[in-house]
């Protein structure tokens, strides 16, 4: 009974929405809105063929490479900048500026500097995604609890051990908040770099469909981008819950008091 | 979401650290407000100058050809020329108009939807799966749809902005409404406050800090989407000017426009932080009193 109710809560609204969609496309044939059935068959036909290897897989690979490089470089640079006060003061205005530049404008710049290639797209993703991770790491390192920091010093904990057991855990929640932003920006940049300058990839294919007025195919492209977004967010939430289990537990205790 | 506790942490670290004022080396190194500020700002200026000098040197030394990366002085000169052009300000106006209209409508929609959904336990559970599914969909996925529906008009930009900004605000409002203090709510009820007054005096003040966080995040996302739409779709604004400058080979002009978008981004961030501080002054002051 309990489980049935839970399932009903999860599936109720989506089922209702699909039903409304189905009912409203039943009579009138709209050019812009395909019926659920058409969309499902087009989706299967369009994406479960060679497109998976020629367009979907390369896009996702570029996204993963770019995002992981941005996270690693961002955290390393953030640890470095965050741990020295003068370095922080020196770089802060410049970093604030780079964060404020809307990342998509980097696409034309990098097209000029690097030409149109796979590595250009990866660099676009890196250079757009790095700022939220970097700035959040700096902020997280800065806000380390003073008492903890002093205790670590008193016990002679320094170097790598200090980073591993003091800095990374206490900056962790902030860093992961940055990683979450980084993921969604990465997805945006993946699509845009392909829409702007490419001959393959998801973004390119979807724009091709739109230009040739293949409306159901275009919708199926929107759906697949959505699915990638949802998958990324699930992976992120899963990882975050594992890494920050201690933090969420702590918060629960604090909130309960 | 993380902002509540973060603010708490910094507030408790600040005054507590100063009052100790031990003569030890660690104590002296810690904050001394009178001397620290100008030094910090000087370093910041030095950082900006260093960045500009590096930028100037790279093309001058021939590390990257000047036709791909013009020296900083040329770009700044191009920006100075742009600042005197009506066309530049018109483009800025178009971008900011799309930004504002998109952000404002997303905010209103999210506020209404958030209050309605957030105040009912049933609705919250009922919509949860759908929200979690729709939220991560990147709004650039809607670009083809926007083009089909609206073409290269400003409505295309606004559609993308509203979709992206809506979720940022909506989620925060949901958290905020859920955070309402039970005792306060029950007090309001037993004093016989009607529903509208309860929303105005109990729910709204609780949700306001969350709302402001959401709006601040949404404001920068909205700018990203405004520029993206102009760049990719070609709706009027700075993004389209950048694409035109790039395809027309006006490289310094393109860099100048990018510089301009960055400056607009910085201004928007500053403005949002200012508004947040103004609207929440009562809130943080109460908090720091409780802590000390």
Residue A142 within any structural domain of the chain = yes
Residue B46 lies in a domain: no
The beta-carbon neighbor of B231 closest among A32, A105, A233 is A105
Residue labelled with tokens 């998801």: A202
Instruction: Tell me the pLDDT band of B284, cut-offs 50, 70 and 90.
Output: low
How far B201 CA lies from chain A's nearest CA (Å)? 23
Q: Give the residue from B12, B37, B35, B32 showing the smallest Cα distance to A89.
A: B37
Interface list for B 263-282 with A (CB within 8 A): 263-266, 268-269
> Among A232, A153, A145, which Cα is nearest to A188's?
A232
Q: B125 and A9: CB-CB below 8 Å?
A: yes
Residue A7 lies in a domain: no
CA pair distance A235, A60, nearest whole angstrom: 14
What's the whole-number mean pLDDT along residues A41-69? 81
CA dist B47 → A84, A95, B10, B69 (Å): 14, 10, 25, 20
CA distance A225 to B142: 10
Concatenated DSSP letters of A161-173: HHIIIIIHHHHHH
Report the alpha-carbon distance of residue A16 to residue A65 in Å, rounded: 38
3-state DSSP of chain B: CCHHHHHHHHHHHHHHHHHHCCCCHHHHHCCCHHHHHHHHHHHHHHHHHHHHHHHHHHHHCCCCCCCCCCCHHHHHHHHHHHHCCHHHHHHHHHHHHHHHHHHHHHHHHHHHHHHHHHCCHHHHHHHHHHHHHHCCCCHHHHHHHHHHHHCCCHHHHHHHHHHHHHHHHHHHHHHHHHCCCHHHHHHHHHCCCCHHHHHHHHHHHHHHHHHHHHHHHHHHHHHHHHHHHHHHCCCCCHHHHHHHHHHCCCHHHHHHHHHHHHHHHHHHHHHHHHHHHHHCHHHHHHHHHHHC
pLDDT score of A116 more than 70: yes
- Angle of helix A215-243 relative to helix A168-196, nearest 10 degrees? 170
Instruction: Report the alpha-carbon distance of residue A139 to residue A175 in Å, rounded.
Output: 9
Q: What is the pLDDT of residues B138-151, one digit of tens each?
A: 888 888 888 888 87
Contact (CB<8Å) A100/B243: no
CA A75 to chain centre: 16
Any A CB within 8 A of B254 CB: yes
Residues 99-128 of A with CB under 8 A from B: 99-105, 107-109, 111-113
Which of B77-81, B94-98, B177-181 is least confident?
Answer: B177-181
Alpha-carbon distance of B246 to A112, in angstroms, equals 8
B145 touches chain A (CB under 8 A): yes
- Confirm whether B65 is domain-assigned: no
pLDDT value at residue A67? 92
| pLDDT for res B37 | 56
**Are B246 and A111 an interchain contact pair (Cβ–Cβ within 8 Å)?**
yes
The structural domain count of chain A equals 1
In chain B, how many domains are there?
Answer: 1
Angle at B247 between CA B141 and CA A189, to 5 degrees: 25
Q: Is B62 within a domain?
A: no
> Which residues of chain B have a CB within 8 Å of the CB of A154?
none
Distance from the Cα of A190 to chain B's closest Cα (Å) equals: 10
Give the nearest chain A residue to B221 (CA atoms). Answer: A102
Name the residue range of residue A156's domain: 52-256
Using pLDDT thresholds of 50, 70 and 90, give the confidence band for residue A124: confident
User: Given the structure tokens 């933090």, which residue do they identify?
Assistant: A247
Share the mean pLDDT of chain B: 78
Q: pLDDT by residue (tens digit) across B119-137?
A: 888 888 888 878 878 887 8
Q: What angle do CA B130, B136, B142 make, to 5 degrees?
A: 95
Contact list in B for residue A93 (CB cut-off 8 A) is 44-45, 47-48
| CATH of residue B272 | 1.10.3720.10
Cβ A143–B10 below 8 Å, yes or no?
A: yes
Q: Is residue B233 part of a domain?
A: yes
Question: What pTM was estimated for this model as a whole?
Answer: 0.79
Residue B25's pLDDT band, with cuts at 50, 70 and 90, is very low
Residue ranges in A143-214 assigned as alpha helix (H)? 146-154, 159-162, 168-196, 202-211
Q: Is the dihedral of CA A236, A241, A246, A252 positive or negative?
A: positive
Exposed/middle/buried for residue B65 (C-beta within 10 Å: 0-12, 13-18, 19+): exposed
- CA angle, B42 then B46 then B49, to 5°: 140
Judged by CB atoms within 8 Å, which residues 74-113 of B form the interface with A? none
Q: Report the b/e string of A170-206 with b at 16+ CB within 10 A.
A: bbbbbbbbbbbbbbbbbbbbbbbbbbbbbeebbbbbb
Asked if B174 and B156 touch (Cβ cutoff 8 Å), the reply is: no
Is B16 part of any domain? no
A47 occurs within a structural domain: no
Q: Which residues of B touch A99 (CB under 8 A)?
A: 265
Asked whether the beta carbons of residue A92 and residue B251 sit closer than 8 angstroms, the reply is no
Pick among B72, B140, B240, B273 to test the A interface (most A CBs inside 10 A): B140
Residue at B226 is within a domain: yes
DSSP assignment letter at A35: -
Is residue A91 within 8 A of residue A81, CB to CB? The reply is yes
B151 and A CB contact within 8 Å: no
Of the residues A5, A95, A101, the best mutation for testing chain B's interface (the one with the most B CB atoms within 10 Å of its CB) is A101
Q: Is A235 on the interface with B (CB under 8 A)?
A: no
A8-37 core/surface letters (b: 16 or more CB in 10 A; e: else): ebbeebeeeeeeeeeeebeeeeeeeebbee
Is B125 within 8 Å of chain A by CB?
Answer: yes
- Interface probe with A: pick from B1, B10, B72, B138, most Cβ of A within 10 Å: B138
Select from B140, B167, B100 the least CA-distant residue to B231: B140
- Name the DSSP class of A1: -
Chain B CB contacts of A90 under 8 Å are: 43-44, 46-47, 50
Compute the distance between CA of residue B206 and CA of residue B97 in angstroms, rounded to an integer: 30
Q: Model ipTM? A: 0.78
B229 vs A23, more confident: B229
**What average pLDDT is seen over chain A?**
82
Q: How confident is the model at residue A256 (pLDDT cuts 50, 70, 90)?
A: low
Distance from CA of A223 to the nearest CA of B (A): 8
- Interface contacts (A, B; CB < 8 Å): 179
The C-alpha R_g of chain A, in whole angstroms, comes to 23
pLDDT of residue B5: 37
Residue B197 domain boundaries: 70-290
CB distance A135 to A91 below 8 Å: no
pLDDT at residue B27 tops 70: no
Residue A184's domain is classified under what CATH number?
Answer: 1.10.3720.10
Query: How does residue A255 score in pLDDT terms, banded at 50, 70 and 90?
Result: low
Between CA B69 and CA B61 the distance in angstroms is 12
Does the pLDDT at position B217 exceed 90? no
User: Judged by CB atoms within 8 Å, which residues 236-255 of A form the interface with B?
Assistant: 251
Q: Report yes or no on B37 lying in a domain.
A: no
- Is 50 exceeded by the pLDDT of residue B243? yes
Is the pLDDT at B10 greater than 60? The verdict is no
In a domain, B41, yes or no: no
Contact A105 B129 (CB under 8 A): no
């Amino acid at each position: 009974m309990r489980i049935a109710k839970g399932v009903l809560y999860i599936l109720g609204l989506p089922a209702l929405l699909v039903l409304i969609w189905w009912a409203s496309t039943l009579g009138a044939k709209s050019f812009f809105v395909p019926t659920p059935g058409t969309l499902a068959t087009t989706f299967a036909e369009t994406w479960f063929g060679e497109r998976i290897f020629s367009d979907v897989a390369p896009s996702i690979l570029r996204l993963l490479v770019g995002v992981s490089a941005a996270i690693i470089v961002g955290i390393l640079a953030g640890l470095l900048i965050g741990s020295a006060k003068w370095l922080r003061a020196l770089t802060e205005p410049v970093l604030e500026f780079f964060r404020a530049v809307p990342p998509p404008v980097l696409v034309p710049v990098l097209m000029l500097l690097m030409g149109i290639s796979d590595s250009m797209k990866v660099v676009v993703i890196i250079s757009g995604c790095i700022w939220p991770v970097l700035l959040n790491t700096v902020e997280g390192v800065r806000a380390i609890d003073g008492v903890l920091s002093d205790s670590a010093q008193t016990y002679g904990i320094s170097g790598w051990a200090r980073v591993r057991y003091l800095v990374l855990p206490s900056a962790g929640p902030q860093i992961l908040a940055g990683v979450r932003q980084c993921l969604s920006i990465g997805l945006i940049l993946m699509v845009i770099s392909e829409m702007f300058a490419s001959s393959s990839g998801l973004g390119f294919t979807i724009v091709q469909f739109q230009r040739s007025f293949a409306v159901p195919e275009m919708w199926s492209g929107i759906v697949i981008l959505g699915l990638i977004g949802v998958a990324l967010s699930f992976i992120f939430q899963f990882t975050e819950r594992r890494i920050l289990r201690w933090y969420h537990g702590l918060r629960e205790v604090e909130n309960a008091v | 979401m993380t902002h509540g506790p973060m603010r708490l942490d910094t507030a408790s670290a600040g005054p507590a650290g100063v009052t100790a004022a031990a003569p030890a080396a660690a104590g002296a190194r810690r904050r001394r407000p009178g001397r620290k500020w100008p030094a910090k700002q000087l370093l910041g200026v030095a950082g900006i100058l260093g960045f500009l000098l590096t930028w100037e040197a790279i093309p001058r030394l021939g590390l990257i050809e000047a036709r791909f990366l013009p020296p900083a002085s040329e770009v700044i000169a191009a920006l100075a020329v742009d600042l005197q052009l009506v066309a530049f300000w018109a483009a800025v106006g178009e971008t900011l108009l799309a930004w504002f209209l998109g952000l404002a409508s997303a905010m209103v929609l999210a506020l209404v939807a958030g209050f309605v959904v957030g105040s009912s336990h049933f609705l919250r559970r009922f919509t949860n799966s759908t929200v979690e599914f729709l939220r991560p969909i990147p709004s650039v996925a809607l670009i083809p749809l926007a083009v089909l529906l609206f073409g290269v008009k400003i409505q295309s930009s606004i559609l993308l902005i509203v979709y992206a900004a809506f979720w940022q605000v909506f989620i925060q409002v949901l958290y905020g409404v859920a955070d309402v203090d039970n005792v306060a709510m029950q007090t309001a009820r037993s004093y016989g406050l009607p529903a509208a007054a309860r929303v105005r005096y109990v729910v709204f003040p609780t949700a306001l800090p969350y709302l402001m966080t959401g709006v601040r995040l949404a404001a920068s996302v909205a700018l990203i989407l405004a520029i993206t739409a102009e760049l990719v779709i070609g709706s009027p604004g700075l993004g389209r000017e950048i694409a035109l400058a790039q395809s027309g080979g006006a490289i310094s002009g393109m860099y100048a426009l990018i510089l301009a978008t960055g400056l607009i981004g910085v201004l928007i961030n500053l403005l949002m932080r200012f508004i947040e501080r103004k609207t929440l002054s009562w809130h943080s002051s109460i908090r720091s009193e409780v802590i000390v």
